């Protein structure tokens, strides 16, 4: 009696903890996301300062040397200050919470990306105008070339650093700022080539300025397209969606995913799923739905909000597993040590076995983590019930009960055909 009491108490405590776990996980994910945004904001502040230095240096060198290409590149860096400032304030706003915005303020990053794209396009226009209407002269290479080379190195190095940071922190605004730096680096590279040509007497300055404007227009257009798609609630990419659906449908009790609605918000994902769950009670279906939400948060860090709506149903048959020592042999009392399992498909109405087979456990001889490996493998077989000689607190049994699989005592299995599944549950 005392042992059964400990088992029941442990199961109840486990169920209570599991019920609270998705809520705790959601709060942890929200805190992690806000931490990422705070880190991204610091990098955006560095970007503002660096753009100011680049714009001032290239602008001064462009005026002193008479290089329209370098001056156009300076205008590009000057508009980048506007974009970086928009990124900073967008990230600052995205990290805030407000009851009027229950889905968060993550799209503030998208608005910042939109502002950045506009600034980049305006810069491209100004550079193109100077290339077409500016004077065709040879610049002073001794003044312009060292500044252009130094700017190129700094821009490319910081752009690559910013891009890695944006991907690591899941910030589309930071990625947009990084791509703007890389586009600026490409345009500066063209300026460097034109200045080298000028050293040999070739008048390439206006052509270089025109090439710079093309780079800038392309960069701004890409940023604008990305921001508009995000503002229009674009769905997440198909590959990630298939991975999420695959994770959900791998659960032992899940029949299939009816519908998966998703949208992006500032580089993060919001999901709503309708899932068909094999369950004899809505309470069990709700518990499994919470477990699925928790699994999605764990495996997909870019998901900041997920809601799983369970649809409870009972199929015309159910699957029962029995651990045995050998095919046709007696039951194995230790679940994790069973070399074979009898897999039965039972008609729910008549309780007749309509199919059976023996499958060999691939993990029964493992020396470490045997219970964990066997438990996960059994869940992959999608059982409704598992027959056991006695109820134990092993890892495999806990995993099965957590997933909503019923543990059935073998001694009662023959005399309890009136139960929900035709056998007496241990819970």
Domain containing residue 396: CATH number: 3.30.420.130
Residues 166 and 306 in one domain: no
Domain membership of residue 156 (yes or no) is: yes
Residues 60 and 186 in one domain: yes
Query: Average pLDDT for residues 29-37, to the nearest whole number?
Result: 56
Residue 97: CATH number of its domain: 1.20.1510.10
Query: At which residue do the structure tokens 């543990």 appear?
Result: 407
Between CA 67 and CA 50 the distance in angstroms is: 22
Predicted confidence (pLDDT) at residue 379 exceeds the cutoff of 80: yes
State the pLDDT at residue 259: 93
Domain boundary among 292, 313, 334: 313
CB proximity list for 401: less than 8 A, separation 6 or greater = 11, 14, 407, 427
Contact of 138 with 205, CB cutoff 8 Å: yes
Per the structure, how many domains does the chain have? 3
Pinpoint the alpha helices (H) of 250-317: 282-299
Query: Average pLDDT for residues 176-181, to the nearest whole number?
Result: 76
**76-120, pLDDT tens digit by residue?**
777 777 667 766 776 676 667 777 777 767 777 778 778 878 877
Query: Average pLDDT for residues 362-386, to the nearest whole number?
Result: 88
Quote the Cα angle for 182-188-189, to 5°: 90
State the pLDDT at residue 110: 78
State the pLDDT at residue 16: 41
Contact of 121 with 221, CB cutoff 8 Å: yes
Query: Average pLDDT for residues 352-359, to the nearest whole number?
Result: 90
Between CA 331 and CA 250 the distance in angstroms is: 27
Q: Which residue has the higher pLDDT, 127 or 122?
A: 122
Residues 272 and 327 in one domain: no
Between CA 306 and CA 366 the distance in angstroms is: 36
State the pLDDT at residue 225: 87
Residues 116 and 184 in one domain: yes
Domain membership of residue 8 (yes or no) is: no
Q: What is the mean pLDDT of the chain?
A: 78
Domain membership of residue 15 (yes or no) is: no
Integer angstrom CA distances of residue 315 from 156, 258, 319, 348, 404: 59, 16, 10, 8, 16
Predicted confidence (pLDDT) at residue 228 exceeds the cutoff of 60: yes
Between CA 38 and CA 95 the distance in angstroms is: 7
Residue 281: CATH number of its domain: 3.30.70.1350
Domain boundary among 209, 231, 253: 231
Query: Average pLDDT for residues 61-84, to the nearest whole number?
Result: 77
State the pLDDT at residue 25: 47
pTM of the model: 0.60
**238-261, pLDDT tens digit by residue?**
999 999 999 999 888 888 899 999
Query: Average pLDDT for residues 290-306, to the nearest whole number?
Result: 87
Residues 291 and 327 in one domain: no
Residues 284 and 335 in one domain: no
Domain boundary among 271, 289, 313: 313
Domain housing 324: 317-413
Predicted confidence (pLDDT) at residue 353 exceeds the cutoff of 80: yes
Integer angstrom CA distances of residue 143 from 9, 58, 63, 69, 196: 80, 10, 10, 13, 12
The DSSP bridge partners found for residue 321 are: 343, 386
Query: At which residue do the structure tokens 């227009």 appear?
Result: 217
Query: Average pLDDT for residues 306-327, to the nearest whole number?
Result: 88
State the pLDDT at residue 26: 45
Between CA 5 and CA 11 the distance in angstroms is: 10
**124-144, pLDDT tens digit by residue?**
787 777 777 766 667 788 888
The model's confidence at residue 293, banded by pLDDT at 50, 70 and 90, is: very high
Residues 256 and 364 in one domain: no
State the pLDDT at residue 412: 53
State the pLDDT at residue 416: 42
């Amino acid at each position: 009696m005392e042992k059964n009491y400990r088992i029941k108490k442990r199961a109840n405590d486990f169920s209570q903890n599991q019920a609270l776990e998705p809520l705790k996980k959601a709060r942890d994910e929200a805190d992690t996301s806000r931490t990422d945004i705070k880190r991204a904001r610091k990098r955006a502040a560095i970007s503002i300062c660096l753009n100011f230095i680049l714009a001032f240096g290239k602008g001064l060198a462009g005026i002193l040397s008479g290089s329209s290409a370098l001056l156009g590149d300076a205008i590009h860096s000057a508009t980048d200050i506007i974009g970086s400032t928009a990124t900073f304030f967008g990230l600052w706003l995205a990290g805030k919470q407000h009851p009027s915005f229950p889905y968060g303020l993550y799209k503030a990053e998208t608005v910042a990306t939109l502002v950045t794209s506009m600034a980049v396009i305006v810069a491209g226009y100004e550079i193109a105008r100077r290339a077409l209407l500016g004077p065709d002269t040879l610049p002073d290479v001794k003044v312009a070339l060292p500044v252009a080379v130094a700017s190129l190195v700094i821009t490319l190095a910081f752009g690559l650093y910013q891009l890695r940071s944006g991907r690591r922190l899941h910030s589309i605004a930071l990625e947009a700022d990084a791509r703007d730096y890389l586009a600026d680096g490409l345009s500066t590279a063209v300026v460097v080539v034109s200045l080298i040509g000028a050293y040999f007497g070739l008048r390439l300055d206006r052509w270089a300025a025109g090439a710079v404007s093309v780079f800038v227009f392309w960069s701004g257009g890409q940023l604008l397209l990305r921001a508009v798609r995000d503002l229009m609630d674009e769905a997440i990419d198909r590959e990630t969606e298939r991975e999420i659906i695959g994770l959900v449908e791998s659960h032992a009790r899940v029949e299939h995913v009816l519908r998966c609605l998703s949208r992006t918000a500032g580089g993060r994902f919001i999901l709503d799923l309708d899932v068909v769950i094999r369950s004899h009670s809505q309470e069990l279906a709700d518990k499994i739905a919470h477990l699925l939400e928790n699994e999605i948060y764990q495996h997909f860090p870019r998901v900041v909000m997920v809601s799983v709506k369970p649809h409870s149903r009972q199929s015309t048959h159910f699957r029962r597993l029995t651990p045995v020592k050998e095919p046709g042999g007696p039951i194995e009392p230790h679940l994790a040590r069973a070399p074979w399992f009898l897999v039965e498909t039972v008609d729910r109405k008549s309780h007749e076995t309509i199919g059976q087979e023996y499958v060999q456990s691939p993990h029964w001889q493992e020396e470490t983590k045997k219970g964990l490996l066997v438990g996960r493998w059994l869940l992959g077989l999608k059982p409704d019930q598992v027959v056991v000689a006695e109820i134990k607190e092993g890892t495999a049994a806990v995993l099965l009960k957590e997933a909503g699989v019923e543990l059935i005592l073998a001694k009662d299995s023959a005399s309890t055909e009136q139960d929900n599944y035709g056998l007496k549950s241990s819970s």
